[in-house]
Amino acid sequence: MQNKAIDFKRQVNIKLADTKLQDALSRLQTRFVEGRSAVISEIHHLEDTRTAAAAIRDCVLNDLDSWLQKFEQQAIAHGAIVHWAETATDANRIVTEIAAQHNVLTAVKSKSMVSEECGLNDALEHAGIKVMETDLGEYILQLAHEAPSHIVAPVVHKNKEEISDLFAEKHQMSRKTGIAELCLEAREILRPAFLNADMGISGANFLIAETGSVLIVTNEGNGRLVTTLPRVHVAITGIEKVVPTLEDVTTLLRLLPRSATGQSITNYVSVLTGNKDAKAHDGPEHFHIILLDNGRSSLIGGEMQEMLRCIRCGACMNHCPVYQNIGGHAYGWVYPGPMGSILTPLLSGLKSSPDLPNASTFCGACAAVCPVKIPLPDLLRNLRTRQMALGLKSRQEVLMLKVWGWLTLHPRIYALATKIGVRILAMMGGERHLLHTLPGATGWTDGRDFPAPSGKTFREMYRKKSTK
């Protein structure tokens, strides 16, 4: 998928003015923030569990090559075929080749952010394969030709009226207005697609090294249908998703749905190991697993490695006051919110995502809820430091920081400068002690007054007082 993060600032203004979107985003608070808070406390030793989860992820990442090989060995031993893809283009090519090899004409997909990362649907359509998204949200987006705006609730930006209109237009059926009716209509349209598809494509929430299994969590059941009915199943996922044992994955499972949707467990957790044996009635005859790097390996061993702990729950964006106000599309690539503001520059280019590391107040709400304790603000700050080192910051900002840095290290001149500064601003503030506009800070004063300083600095007053 093309990175459009360069357009962030303009998009922010569009999104802030979009009242329908604002209305839709208000549901994040009740459904996801309150939902999480209601069930996360069910975990008896929450802090210990988060710590254990982070340790499991670190254990794998610190020895990722060995764990990947262990996973591969076990997966192959159980009948899966493992492919490695260095780039998104490679991954698309591999899926297309698998499709050709098995004479695949139609494919059904369950939700996969990695496939969004690759732009897989376009690649398959280009190769003449009909692909149908089956996660309700992703299906709606496919009809609307839009990208997901949330990694768990992809269509959170749309209201049901828009979906009613879309279904009526695309399905050529009478317009349904109830949510249950809309769901039923999608079910009835998609059921034949499941039954007739040659290939099922899924992501993987985790790869289990012990058994060589792919683990998928879903609620709708489409994940099960996609991985049970078609004769070929392709699971595509990032190389960082390995977890050592079934016990370890259990620890992560206690956190994932609770953090994501406020569920104690998703309706379905499927652990898929190998292809079907000859006697079985269902299951794919061919099970392919694609392990995608696409820049992930460059995070290993460095100051950004902790980002690879991410289990894609979306809690960071649900709790992010920036995301809550602009939604996911403004971020310009596959992953929005705090995790996206880190992953997009890392996987898709820091230079083409100049705003993402900076569009954060460092409020820390994301890190406080992250189930695997990723220090998201620290990682964002690391990216800002990289921007500074690489000369990607505006000259004006660099100059201001230089001047400020110099002043603060020269206390006498600092004292003089602040003394003069506060007097001028105090004067400008007038009787109401408010500045309605401030040159160089219109970003502030366009929407807020700037309260004027009171006219003297603490340090001069204190010195006067103590020398009296």
Partner 1 sequence: MENKVRVGFFVTCLVDSMRPHIGFAAIRLLEAAGCEIVVPAQQTCCGQPGYNSGERKSTVSMALKFLSEFEEFDYVVLPSGSCAGMIRVHYPELFRGDPELQQRFTSLAKRTYELTDFLVNVAKLENVPGNFKGTLTYHDSCSGLRELDVYNQPRALLAKLPGVKIYEMVESTTCCGFGGTFSVKYGELSTRMAENKCQHIAAAGVDAIVGGDLGCLLNIEGRLRRTGDHSTQVLHIAEVLSGLDKDK
Partner 2 sequence: MSARDNILSKIREARSSAPQNVPAAPIANYLALHQRGPSPPPPDDLVTGFKKRAIKLSSDVLETSVRMEVPALLAHYLEERKLPLRGVCWTSLVGLPWGAAGLEMLPNPATNQDMVGVTGAFCAIAETGTLMMLSGAETPASTSLLPETHVAVLDPLRIVATMEDAWDLLRLEYKQPPRAVNFISGPSRTADIEQTVTLGAHGPYRVLVILAPP
User: In which region does residue 448 sit, left (phi positive, over 0), alpha (psi from -120 to 50) or beta (all else)?
Assistant: beta
**Strands 206-208 vs 213-218: parallel, antiparallel or unpaired:** antiparallel
Q: What part of residues 42-71 is at the interface with partner 1 (CB under 8 A)?
A: none
Please list every residue from 21 through 80 that binds partner 2, using CB under 8 A.
24, 27-28, 30-32, 42-45, 48-49, 52-53, 56, 59, 61-70, 78
List 244, 325, 352, 428, residue binding partner 1 (CB under 8 A): 325
* Position among 147, 209, 234, 380 found at the interface with partner 2 (CB under 8 A): 209
Binding mask 10-29 for partner 1 (x = CB under 8 A): --xx--x-------------
> Per rule CB under 8 A, is residue 434 in the interface with partner 2?
no
Nearest CA among 399, 59, 104 for reference residue 233: 104
Return the residue matching tokens 């995070």.
Answer: 299
CB atoms within 10 A of CB 242: 26
Tokens coding 408: 């603060």
395 to 454, contacts with partner 1 by CB under 8 A? 397-398, 401-402, 404-409, 411, 414, 418, 421-422, 432, 434, 441-444, 446-451, 453-454
Binding flag, residue 145, partner 2 (CB under 8 A):
no
Tell me the C-alpha distance between 359 and 315, whole Å.
18
Query: Residue 43 in contact with residue 253, Cβ under 8 Å?
Result: no
Query: Least distance to partner 2 from the beta carbon of 286, Å?
Result: 12
Q: Is 310 left (phi over 0), alpha (psi -120 to 50) or beta?
A: beta
Nearest to 330 by CA among 80, 1, 9: 9
Spatial distance between the Cα atoms of 158 and 140, rounded to a whole number of angstroms: 10
Shortest distance, position 130 Cβ to partner 2, whole Å: 19
Single-letter residue type at 44: H
Least Å distance, CB 225 to partner 2, is 6
Measured from the CB of residue 127, what is the shortest distance to partner 2 in angstroms?
20
Minimum CB–partner distance for residue 364 and partner 1 (Å): 4
Which of 179, 155, 138, 147 has the alpha carbon at shortest distance from 27? Answer: 155
* Segment lying near partner 1 (by CB under 8 A), choices 44-52, 107-115, 202-210, 379-387: 379-387
Nearer to partner 1, 170 or 459 (CB): 459
Q: DSSP letter string over 121-143?
A: HHHHHHTT-EEEE-SHHHHHHHH
Residue 245 vs residues 50, 293, 307, 313, 420: alpha-carbon distances, Å: 17, 22, 21, 20, 65
Find the shortest distance in angstroms from Cβ 355 to partner 2.
Answer: 28
Q: Which stretch binds partner 1 (CB under 8 A): 171-179, 210-218, 220-228, 364-372?
A: 364-372
Provide the binding-site residues for partner 1, judged by CB under 8 A: 9, 12-13, 16, 321-322, 325-326, 355, 358-365, 367-368, 381, 383-389, 393, 397-398, 401-402, 404-409, 411, 414, 418, 421-422, 432, 434, 441-444, 446-451, 453-459, 461-463, 466
